[in-house]
Amino acid sequence: MQPPEASMAASPTRTAIHLALLGFADEVVGTLAHLFAYVGALALLAILALAALGQLPDLRDDEPARKPGWSVADRSHPAFAVSRTDSSDKTVSYTILRHPEGGRRDVLRWTGEAGKPLAELEIYRQGAEFDVTRPATADLAARMGLGAATALEQAGLIGTKFGPVVLFRPTGTMEAVRGCLGYLKRSEEPMLQISGYSCQGDSLPARRAAIACTLNRLTLLASGNEPKLAELFARAELKRRGCDPADSGDWLLGAANAQLRGAL
């Protein structure tokens, strides 16, 4: 049995140890609490920063969002064809472009030796993207292989199964003689534009005859859900002409430039 003095000496020692342990536990709990608060504050700042970055595109009024434009429609099927008159004709490509607002462009291109472009034919069915204020010939010069700023002048009319078609050529005597001929035909019902160019032939009459022949051989393969398109081609077939230059209905208005008025 311990003497009373020993018991009294041990009791204060145990009390001091307990108090030290309790103080250490309080310090650990306090440190953990501060640590969690610090981590939580950092997480909150990160969330606010990400939210602010996500709103930056909406706050930049000086950089308008880009609207989706034309894209190649690989899964769409050709809706038009041009019948061949001889084995030398070769359709190099048939490209279909679609616009999210409903427009569709069917583009046929021909090339000759060494891949030199010979002709192009585009059938543009207009959607909500169509800009009525933009000139119809705005991109025709570039498609003809000329500079986008190249001026074009009217070069008369040709008769086709679709009716009169306006011709265009580069402005200037030398370019007009050796350059390609562009063409354009607009339809209001249905909303349709047929355009392109031809570099075939060694003279202007030969190029005009080549364009007339191409348009007269243009046929519709599928109209989809567009009965007015089918009606347009059905009526045109009744007026089909041959590819003989004598049947081309070729008119050259004026010695150099035809000043045409009214809708094309």
pLDDT of res. 24: 64
- Check whether residue 34 and residue 93 sit in a common domain: no
Query: Which domain does 182 fall in, by range?
Result: 71-251
In the numeric block, the tokens 């004026």 are attached to 254
Number of domains in the chain: 2
pLDDT of res. 202: 83
> pLDDT (tens digit, 9 = 90+) per residue, 87-100?
555 667 999 999 99
The pTM of the whole model exceeds 0.75: no
- Check whether residue 221 and residue 163 sit in a common domain: yes
- Check whether residue 41 and residue 76 sit in a common domain: no
Strands of the sheet with 104-111, listed across from one edge: 71-72, 91-98, 104-111, 117-125, 192-198, 181-187, 163-170, 152-160, 250-251
Let me know the angle formed at the C-alpha of 55 by 52 and 56, rounded to the nearest 5 degrees: 90
Q: List 71's β-bridge partners, or say none.
A: 98
DSSP strands (E only) in 77-211: 80-82, 91-98, 104-111, 117-125, 152-160, 163-170, 181-187, 192-198
- Check whether residue 48 and residue 92 sit in a common domain: no
Of 16, 37, 60, the residue that ends a domain is 60
DSSP designation for 141: H
pLDDT of res. 22: 66
Query: In the structure, what pLDDT confidence band is assigned to residue 81 with cuts at 50, 70 and 90?
Result: very high
Q: How far apart are CA 144 and CA 198, in angstroms?
A: 8
pLDDT of res. 64: 54
- Check whether residue 41 and residue 92 sit in a common domain: no
Q: Is residue 79 over pLDDT 80?
A: yes
Of 60, 79, 105, the residue that ends a domain is 60
pLDDT of res. 68: 78
- Check whether residue 52 and residue 140 sit in a common domain: no
Share of the chain above pLDDT 70, in %: 69
Cα 114 → chain centroid: 28
- Check whether residue 88 and residue 213 sit in a common domain: yes
- Check whether residue 104 and residue 31 sit in a common domain: no
Give domain status of residue 49, yes or no: yes
Cα–Cα nearest to 124, from 24, 229, 203, 205: 229
- Check whether residue 206 and residue 133 sit in a common domain: yes
pLDDT of res. 240: 85
Give domain status of residue 104, yes or no: yes
- Check whether residue 169 and residue 201 sit in a common domain: yes
Give domain status of residue 256, yes or no: no
